[in-house]
Amino acid sequence: MALPPPVIEKHEGFTVIRDDALSGGTKRRVLNDYLGTLEADEFVYPSTPYGMGPVAIAYACRDLGKQATLFYPQRKRERFTEQMETVLKLGAKIELVPHGYMSVVKARTREYAEKTDAHLLPLGLAIPEVQNALTKIAKDLPVLPKQVWCATGTGTLTRALQAAWPKAEHHAVLVAMEPTASLGTAITHKAAEDFAQSARILPPYNSLPQYDAKVWQFVSTQGRKGALIWNVA
């Protein structure tokens, strides 16, 4: 399924990659091809309530006729986030994990995959093929930024962007847990808000309040004019 190219806009002197314009966000761009190379009929993933990884997986599985099974920390049905409601509409199954620290969610996801023929996808989609495909998408854009900003949870996107533009200065805004993998050469900034909290200062473009929007408070005061912001969703 051919997806439209990333939308590139200027906002207050910054170049913004508007993948909020694509349902499922940036990682959806690469998952159809990657999941299509695997023989599994079911894909399982440890999910966070506000993350876009599960949404991208749900879209790809719908497009490919596969089943997505997504494990989340337990919460009441009336407290499902917009992302959780979206994956249900796309045909994904949700498994709720009591006492759902992320370590527990990951363990239950792994146990499920071991008991079934489901293919386990790692948190953050930290997979070489996925990261390389993201790098190619960035390199193919008609831009050559000197400074790059993005939000990060596990670091997959910032590593991909560093590979695309190795001479640029890279900044990664931590919005969730401390990353378990390297952030490469990125200069890091820690959002003061808890993961579930919306950004206190919203950008002048549509952006996921609990995630990508948290970049703006830093780039608006510390970013160079002309810097590139990668807005996943």
**In the beta sheet, which residues pair with residue 17?**
8, 230
- In this predicted structure, what is the pLDDT of residue 16? 99
Is the confidence at residue 45, as pLDDT, over 90? yes
- In this predicted structure, what is the pLDDT of residue 99? 83
Per-residue pLDDT reduced to its tens digit, 159-176: 999 999 999 999 999 997
pTM of the model: 0.94
Is the confidence at residue 178, as pLDDT, over 90? no
Q: What is the mean pLDDT of the chain?
A: 95
180 confidence band (pLDDT: 50, 70, 90): low
Is the confidence at residue 141, as pLDDT, over 80? yes
- In this predicted structure, what is the pLDDT of residue 198? 96
Per-residue pLDDT reduced to its tens digit, 81-139: 999 999 999 999 999 999 878 999 999 999 999 999 999 999 999 999 999 999 999 99
Which domains are present in the chain? 8-24+127-231 (3.40.50.1100), 28-125 (3.40.50.1100)
- In this predicted structure, what is the pLDDT of residue 15? 99
* Tokens, residue 217: 């408070």
* Tokens, residue 41: 């009929």
Is the confidence at residue 179, as pLDDT, over 90? no
